[in-house]
Every structure is written in C-alpha cells, then in structure tokens.
Amino acid sequence: EVDSILIHSASCIELFPNQVLPHYFNGLGHLQKEEYREAIKSLEMAKELSYGMPELEVQVMANLGDAYYQVGNLQKSWLAYDHSLRMNPSNDYVLNNYAYFLSLEGVDMEKAEEMSKRTVDRNPKSPVYLDTYGWVLFKSAKYSEAVIYLQKAVDFDPNKSAEIMEHLGDAQFMNGQKNEALGS
C-alpha cells in the first residue's frame, strides 16, 4: 500500500523532521511510484540522518543508486552504489542492479561482469541474477556464455518473463542460433 506509506511518512516527517525512518520510507514510496526526484529528496535526507546506522545507510545508498540512475545522473548513481558496497560488499541487490545498469550503459564491463558473477555464485537458481549475468555477458559480446546463463534464467523462471526471453533470443541470434532465437 504505497499511497498509505507516502501519507503516513509525510505526516511523520512533519511531526518528527529529524527522524530517519519517515524520510527513508517516504523515499521508498516515491521510488515504488517511479517519482524519482521526490525519492531522491527524501533519501538524501535519510542519508544525512542515518549516520551511525550502517545497515540502514547501506539500504539508503542502494535506493539512491537506483533513483539517480532513473533520472540519468549516472555519476551520483555509481557513487551511491560504490558507497553501499564499501559498507556491505556482499549486498546482492546492489551488486545486481549496479552490474545491470553498467551493462546498459556499456561502461566498466569487467566490473559489471565480476559483480554479477558474484551474485550468481551465491544464488545459482535466481532467474533475476542469472538474467543480469547473461545480459552482461551478451553486452560484452560473449554470446555463447550468455546463452548458457540466459537459458538457465528461463529454466528457473516460473513466470517465463518476457524480458528474460527477449534477452535469451538476442543472445541466441548473436550466437548464430537463429532458429532457437525465433522460438524464444
């Protein structure tokens, strides 16, 4: 109930402007509603107020990375993700999103591949992480490897996500498997 979170967090912010959690939840609500600029405002305040609370700061920075990416501020997005990973280098959510967004931009592909591989090693049956790793490999022109991981993503995805299927088809096509690609 995202609208309820936004209403209640805004009320809490009015009453307790120096408390971190209302700002954090307000930012999450706006992020869920794809209101990225509003999310950034609240999450930036939460960042300031989360000093001394490392677990919360990790999450705030992860969400700031997502929000800044969505508004096209790549530098702030990368800085937020890097900050979050310095505090928790094993955060699979951050590793996955950071790797995926780097691959979409076609930058720092070695870093993207390394981060994504770590998530797959820890979560070998996750269709989301397998898809990201396969996509990073695809964007690195490692088509045969990409097909392997994207096929695993499809196999482990009970919903047969259209995006994962499209990624697999793209990798199969570039790998010379045109018939299989048309079937994906």
For residue 48, what pLDDT is reported? 96
3-state secondary structure of 176: coil
Nearest to 146 by CA among 135, 154, 156: 135
User: Is the model's pLDDT at 183 over the cut of 80?
Assistant: no
Cα distance between residue 184 and residue 179, in whole Å:
9
For residue 184, what pLDDT is reported? 55
**Mind listing the pLDDT tens digit for each residue in 87-143?**
999 999 999 999 999 999 999 999 999 999 999 999 999 999 999 999 999 999 999
